[in-house]
């Protein structure tokens, strides 16, 4: 798998002005058919800033249009996880809605015999994030899966599959060299045996099969940590967002001698690549500890060239839902 990616035809610009609301981090986000943005926050107060104590993970809605946005908590006993700032409790990592059903990946499943902060599973909601049902299976060796989003209620999808990416390792608190890609038919997302993993490409196209035969869909020895994945239908490009916080971040579970701090965006006509580099910024974490970049689908403009970048900060920077407006331009 190559780690030397060509330059994209698109260049990237980000405004300095920032909109920040709420309390928490990670913020998986998806756009429902009723035009609402659903999200989860982790390890924070969400949008009840007066509350005592923090919540480990809980659903919420984002209302309005940047910069005039606000958040509203969703009263969901089954979707809320108590506990704070630890690896002991399951927390959201990826969120998508398709055909009106919300699917939320959970990390920190903590399989027996493994360190805390490892493993992942899934829960789903058929009533707009109020009631959640957990599946009876888990992945021990996938620590932080993130769903692809594709427009409102997944209507921009190019086929009938839900795709996801994950750093190729068991911990949500580690960076790994490789990113894996998986998919499942949207009608079978709750069935573990319906999931298939990218195993490289042949003349006929991508190869899909068992987890054991997986091949990286993206690689970077400097580290891949908590990626984002978005389909920009207006320009016909899948956008893969990768970041790696600073090398001495106290939460690193692993040692990586090639680790380096950066934020980067790659694009491709297919979920499995080949990828081209839109942007790479090694100063993104210079004054703040930024991570977990995402692109909320609702705020991509009709031409696909303007959108908002969502990210988290800890310990430096606003521990909030952080947005910057961004633009793509054609090079040359």
> What percentage of the chain's residues is helix, strand, coil (to nearest 5)?
5, 50, 45
Count of structural domains, the chain: 1
Q: What is the mean pLDDT of the chain?
A: 95
- Asked if the structure places residue 161 within a domain, the reply is yes
Provide the pLDDT for residue 84: 59
Task: Tell me the CA distances in angstroms from 240 to 125, 135, 181, 263, 318, one per residue in order.
Answer: 26, 27, 11, 11, 24
- Asked if the structure places residue 238 within a domain, the reply is yes
Distance of CA 285 to the CA centre of its chain: 18
- Asked if the structure places residue 2 within a domain, the reply is no
- Asked if the structure places residue 147 within a domain, the reply is yes
Pairwise CA distance, residues 197 & 17, whole Å: 39
User: Interior CA angle at 40 toward 228 and 180, to 5°?
Assistant: 30
321 burial type by CB count under 10 A (0-12 exposed, 13-18 middle, 19+ buried): buried
Q: What number is the average pLDDT over the span 197-208?
A: 95
- Asked if the structure places residue 3 within a domain, the reply is no
Q: pLDDT tier at 261 (50, 70, 90 boundaries)? A: very high
Per-residue tokens: 160: 């009938």
Domain that holds residue 126: 10-330
Provide the pLDDT for residue 248: 86
- Asked if the structure places residue 250 within a domain, the reply is yes
pLDDT digits (tens, 9 = 90+) for 162-181: 999 999 999 999 999 999 99
- Asked if the structure places residue 18 within a domain, the reply is yes
Q: What is the CATH number of the domain that holds 74?
A: 2.115.10.20
- Asked if the structure places residue 83 within a domain, the reply is yes
For residues 171 and 110, the answer to whether their CB atoms sit within 8 Å is no
Pairwise CA distance, residues 105 & 92, whole Å: 6
Per-residue tokens: 218: 């993206």
1, pLDDT greater than 60: no
Distance of CA 97 to the CA centre of its chain: 14
């Amino acid at each position: 798998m190559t780690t030397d990616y060509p330059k994209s035809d698109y260049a990237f610009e980000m405004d300095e002005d920032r909109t920040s609301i709420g309390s928490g981090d990670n913020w998986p986000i998806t756009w429902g058919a009723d035009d609402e943005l659903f999200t989860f926050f982790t390890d924070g107060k969400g949008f009840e800033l007066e509350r005592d104590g923090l919540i480990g993970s809980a659903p919420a809605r984002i209302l309005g249009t940047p910069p005039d946005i606000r958040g509203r908590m969703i009263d969901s006993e089954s979707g809320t996880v108590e506990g704070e700032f630890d690896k002991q409790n399951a927390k959201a990592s990826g969120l998508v809605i398709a055909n009106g059903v919300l699917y939320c990946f959970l990390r920190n499943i903590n399989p027996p015999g493994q360190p805390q902060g490892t493993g992942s599973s899934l829960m789903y909601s058929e009533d707009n994030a109020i009631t959640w049902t957990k599946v009876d299976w888990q992945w021990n060796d996938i620590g932080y899966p993130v769903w692809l989003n594709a427009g409102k209620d997944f209507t921009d999808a190019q086929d009938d599959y839900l795709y996801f990416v994950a750093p190729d390792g068991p911990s949500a608190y580690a960076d790994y060299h490789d990113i894996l890609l998986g998919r499942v038919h949207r009608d079978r997302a709750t069935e573990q045996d319906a999931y298939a993993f990218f195993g490289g490409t042949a003349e006929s196209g991508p190869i899909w099969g068992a987890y054991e035969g997986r091949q990286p869909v993206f690689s970077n020895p400097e580290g891949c940590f908590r990626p984002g994945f978005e389909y920009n239908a207006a320009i016909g490009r899948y956008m893969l967002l990768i970041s790696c916080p600073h090398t001495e971040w106290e939460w690193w579970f692993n040692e990586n001698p090639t680790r380096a701090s950066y934020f980067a965006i790659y694009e491709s006509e297919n979920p499995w690549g080949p990828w081209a580099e839109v942007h790479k910024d090694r100063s993104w974490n210079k004054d703040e500890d930024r991570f977990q970049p995402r692109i909320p689908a609702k705020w991509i403009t009709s031409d696909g060239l303007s959108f908002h970048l969502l990210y988290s900060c800890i310990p430096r920077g606003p521990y909030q839902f952080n947005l910057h407006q961004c633009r793509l331009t054609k090079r040359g």
